[in-house]
Amino acid sequence: MENQNNVTEFVFMGLWGNRQLELLFLVLFLLCYLAVLMGNFIILLTITCSHLIEQPMYYFLCHLSLMDLCYTSTVVPRLIRDLGAARKNISYNNCMTQLFTAHMLGGVEIFILVSMALDRYVAIVKPLHYMVIMNRRRCNMLIFVAWGAGFWHSVSLLLVVLSLPFCGPNQIDHYVCDVKPLLKLVCKDIHVVNILVIANSGMVAVVIFLVLVASYIVILCNLRTHSSLGRRKALSTCSSHIMVVVLFFVPCIYIYVLPAGSENKDKEISVFYTVIAPMLNPLIYTLRNMEMKIAMGKVWSKMAHSEFKSIG
């Protein structure tokens, strides 16, 4: 078949067909998005305005919060708009832009989580060499690698999608332009493309998740040699990381390991890593972290004092 593209726009089918239910969830997702903005902004402000920015763990957490803000903002505002709209349409170019941006930011977030796991591994397994190994130059290099890997993953995926012919229909059974729902609209055999997508997204997510799980098992085994106080502090930090990793990776693996065309709950499950995880991450990292709570109190009291002086 000749590679042609007759589609100039796509129409989202959305999460639900029920109009009343969509209006109810419009309010719910708006509140969730405001919680994502507020929670991650508080983390960014607390870390950048305190001594915590000097510590590698919080340096990576700062970048993770920034990714959560950016990633959610590529998906949720349009979702909220579409929940209130009669026709949920998006142009072909905007769809490709959303696909590229969401996958790039998601890829960067994955490799930031890997960097955070590496940081905890070095801190617990090689504590005497921690400051030498995890110096600021190496932390910056890990962030640079995360951006490079995310960009490469997204570009390769976008090039595959751009080469595919869309001859109509143009209804996407989703609320976001993602590779799997788009593949269902392609008017040619997609068996090879399915394998490429699973290799690019699904298997990479599985491998990274298994590496992270293995690293945390090694960390937990090494904690037996620590004092009870050190063990409690390390367990609190690691359990926060593990919760964030599970919240992000498990839904991703479910979605991207299965081939396009299979009947599953992709769009419902994807809500976990587009909305729920970015909203819960700030709570996980603040409620279980005494250093963050103390730093937050100092930053906000300093800001309140400055504001009081300026009024006076």
Per-residue pLDDT of 5-44, as tens digits, reads 677 889 888 777 677 788 888 899 999 999 999 999 999 9
Is the confidence at residue 2, as pLDDT, over 60? no
Please give the pLDDT value at position 137: 94
Cβ–Cβ < 8 Å for 78, 90: yes
Q: Please state, in angstroms and rounded to a whole number, the distance separating the CA atoms of residues 96 and 170.
A: 14
Ranking 64-73, 152-161, 268-277 by mean pLDDT, the lowest is 268-277
Comparing 250 with 299, which gets the higher pLDDT? 250
Only one residue has tokens 């890990």, namely: 142
CA distances to 47, 66, 114, 188, 241 from 57, rounded to whole Å, are 11, 14, 12, 47, 11
CA distances to 115, 161, 193, 199 from 188, rounded to whole Å, are 40, 12, 10, 20
pLDDT digits (tens, 9 = 90+) for 174-228: 888 988 888 888 888 888 888 888 888 888 889 999 999 988 888 888 777 766 7
Please give the pLDDT value at position 219: 84
Q: Could you give the percent of the chain with pLDDT greater than 90?
A: 35
Q: Give the residue ranges of DSSP H helices in the chain.
A: 19-48, 56-83, 92-125, 130-133, 136-162, 179-183, 191-197, 204-222, 228-257, 266-269, 271, 277-287, 290-311
Is the confidence at residue 1, as pLDDT, over 50? no
Q: Which residues, in sequence order, are CB contacts of 254 under 8 Å at separation 6+?
A: 264, 269
CA 274 vs. chain centroid, Å, equals: 7
Q: How confident is the model at residue 56 (pLDDT cuts 50, 70, 90)?
A: very high
Cβ–Cβ < 8 Å for 205, 252: yes
Ranking 31-35, 230-234, 260-264 by mean pLDDT, the lowest is 260-264
Is the confidence at residue 165, as pLDDT, over 60? yes
Is the confidence at residue 135, as pLDDT, over 50? yes
Overall average pLDDT of the 78-88 stretch = 86
The SS3 assignment for 10 reads: strand
Please give the pLDDT value at position 309: 65
Is the confidence at residue 3, as pLDDT, over 70? no
Please give the pLDDT value at position 307: 62
Q: Please state, in angstroms and rounded to a whole number, the distance separating the CA atoms of residues 207 and 212.
A: 9
Q: Which residues, in sequence order, are CB contacts of 215 under 8 Å at separation 6+?
A: 117, 118, 120, 121
Overall average pLDDT of the 104-125 stretch = 91
Q: How confident is the model at residue 310 (pLDDT cuts 50, 70, 90)?
A: low
- What predicted TM-score, i.e. pTM, was given to this entire model? 0.88
Overall average pLDDT of the 245-253 stretch = 89
Is the confidence at residue 147, as pLDDT, over 90? yes
Please give the pLDDT value at position 37: 94
The SS3 assignment for 11 reads: strand
Cβ–Cβ < 8 Å for 244, 41: no
Q: What is the mean pLDDT of the chain?
A: 86
Is the confidence at residue 239, as pLDDT, over 50? yes
Cβ–Cβ < 8 Å for 15, 172: no
